[in-house]
Structures are given as structure tokens and as C-alpha cells.
Amino acid sequence: MKTFDVEVRVWLKPSVFDPQGHAVEQALHTLGFDGAQNVRIGKYMHLTVTGDTEEEARKSVEQMCERVLSNPVMETYAYELKETVV
Amino acid sequence: MKWAVVVFPGSNCDEDAAQAVRETTGDTVDLVWHDATDLSQYDAIILPGGFSYGDYLRSGAIARFSPAVEAVRREVAEGKLVLGICNGFQVLTESHLLPGALLRNNHLQFRCEMVELIVDNNTSPFTRAYQLGERIQIPIAHGEGRFHADPETVADLRNEGRIAFRYAHSPNGSVADIAGILGQGGNVLGLMPHPERAIFDWMGSVDGRRLFQSMHQYVEEGLAHARANA
């Protein structure tokens, strides 16, 4: 059994208005960062999973993302997975 | 008829909902803890407002996995009436018992105020005591009430008469000004406004009374019909 380190990012789909991102973008402009655009705010989650193979671990992480960690109606996700070296 | 109000850790409108049912219908109401696995003895179930599981991850996201919500799913299939108010609406969308999702208000503020709603459907078990197009006053109290769904879903809701209530002046940026929607079978209603907070004159409005009375009437007629055929 191997252990994998997983980093999951979840953010609103491009088609969904992100009022937090919008507010932060305004703040950046106020500070003079005129070039800052398309600010989107998301969530970062860190976890470890176990599995016999990397493929199995990936499948399990994808199910977690689809069923719990993100809501596909409004959000999208990405993740990185690395085997932990003991 | 008999009602259940499901109580999650973090629910805070459960007592108000139970009180509203008693005051407007005279029916029996049980407060049922979220670990209940069987709700078949109830004719109507309310998922109340509040912050179930601290709204962790997303509003309603954790409550969705509680045994009571699985039990609710079975009763929905049986045709029982299920009413989700505010956080209860969020739980219903997360559970896919209703389409769409509720997002942060477009101005990021928590809004707690009386709003004007337009009744868009008066044939459902929840809205039959209202007039079509009637304007009613019901308070809201939410920070995440911006209804979102893709354009096809919104078109379906509109064409199938499943938009129950619309805001006269949207307080949150909801698509199509949607305040409350019905499920496919018409026996599930989710809405962000709080009808249980509009049942006495001193509350500023009594327009919420008829929602509970509609449900009561609908169920009692069904029970009478069943008795006549027995």
C-alpha cells in the first residue's frame, strides 16, 4: 500500500460570477496594480490518500472531487498527486 | 397530518419552523435529529434555516450526507412534501433534489430584511393559497442566496412552471430573480426567504402563513380521499 500526497484546488467555473475575486481586483486597482485582471478566488485542500497504485489513488481523488470537494454545478477542480517518500 | 422538522448541528430556524406550522395549521410537529433513518411516518418534512455543519466546505454540502437526508430522498420519491427554507434550500440543491446551486450574494453582504416576492406558480401544493402574480412580503436572512443554474436548466424551470417565487427586486443577484423553485415532481420546494418569519402581524407580515396552510390543505385532501376510497 502506497501513500500519496494530494493538493486539490477548487474554484468557480469561468461562467459563474465571482464577487470575491471582483472585490479583490478592485482593491488591487486601488493600490495601483492596474494590470491585475480576472482575479478568481478558490479553495485549496491538502490530504493524503492510500492506494495500491497511483491510478487507483487518482481515481479515488477524482471521485472525492466530483462528489464532495467541489460542486460541479458551479465549480471546477484540479489536483496534483505525488507518492510520499518515507 | 404530521410534520417533521429535521435538525442538523448548526440549524437555528428549526424551532421557528415548528412553531409556524403549529400556529398556522394546528398540526403536530416533531423535531427530528439529523441521524434519523426513517421519516416515513411524516406527511411533510421541513429542512430549516441555519448553518448546518457550520456551512463547512459549502452551504449544505456536509448535511447532504446525513442519514436524515437519505430518508428525505426516499420520502420525496414517495411523493411526500418537502420544504427547504434558506439553508434547507442549500441542502436540497447539494443533494440534487433540486437543480442549481446557491452562491455568495453578488455584493458579498449578508442581507437580513423584508423583501417583496412575486408568486409565479399558484398550482403547487405549497402555493395554492396564493394568487398568481400576487406580491407578498417575506423576510430574507442570507449571505449565500444567489441562485445559479445553467441557461438550459433555468429555461426548463420556467417552461415547466417550477419557479415558485421571484424577487420583485433581487437582493442577491440570483439568475432570473429566482427566490424559490419546485422539484420535478412538484412535491419539493426550496426557497431562500423565511415564510416562518412572516406569520403574525407583529412580525411585519403574515404572508408566510398561506404557504404552510397550502401544504396542510393539500395533504389533508389527499388523506380524506384515501379514507373515502379505503
Residues B68-124 have pLDDT tens digits of 999 999 999 999 999 999 999 999 999 999 999 999 999 999 999 999 999 999 999
Is residue A68 domain-resident? yes
Which pLDDT does position B54 carry in this prediction? 92
pLDDT at A86 over 80: no
Is residue A25 domain-resident? no
Query: What is the rounded (10 degree) CA torsion for B115, B118, B123, B127?
Result: 10
Is residue A56 domain-resident? yes
CB contact under 8 A, A20 and B103: no
Which pLDDT does position B230 carry in this prediction? 79
Q: How many domains does chain A have?
A: 1
DSSP B117-157: EEE---SSTTTTTSPTT-EEEEEEEESS-EEE--HHHHHHH
Residues in chain B: 230
In chain B, residues with a C-beta closer than 8 Å to the C-beta of A26 are none
Which pLDDT does position A62 carry in this prediction? 98
How many Å apart are CA B137 and CA B200, to the nearest integer? 12
| Structural domain boundaries enclosing A61 | 2-16+42-83
DSSP B43-64: SEEEE--B-GGGG-SSTTTTGG
Q: How confident is the model at residue A68 (pLDDT cuts 50, 70, 90)?
A: very high
ipTM of the complex: 0.86
CB contact under 8 A, A73 and B173: no
How many Å apart are CA A53 and CA B6, to the nearest integer? 41
Q: Which chain B residue lies closest to A45 (C-alpha atoms)?
A: B57
Q: What is the mean pLDDT of residues B13-34?
A: 98
Q: Which residues, in sequence order, are bridge partners of residue B141?
A: B112
Q: Phi, psi (5° rounding) for residue A70?
A: -130, 160
For residue A67, what is the domain's CATH number? 3.30.1280.10
B57 conformational bin, left if phi > 0, alpha if psi -120 to 50, beta if neither = left
Instruction: Please list the active-site residues of B.
Output: 86, 194, 196
Domains and CATH numbers, chain B: 2-229 (3.40.50.880)
Residues B30-77 have pLDDT tens digits of 999 999 999 999 999 999 999 999 999 999 999 999 999 999 999 999
Count of other CB atoms within 10 angstroms of residue B112: 12
pLDDT at A69 over 90: yes
CB contact under 8 A, A19 and B108: yes
pLDDT, mean over chain B: 97
How many Å apart are CA B124 and CA B147, to the nearest integer? 20
DSSP B11-27: B-SHHHHHHHHHHHH--
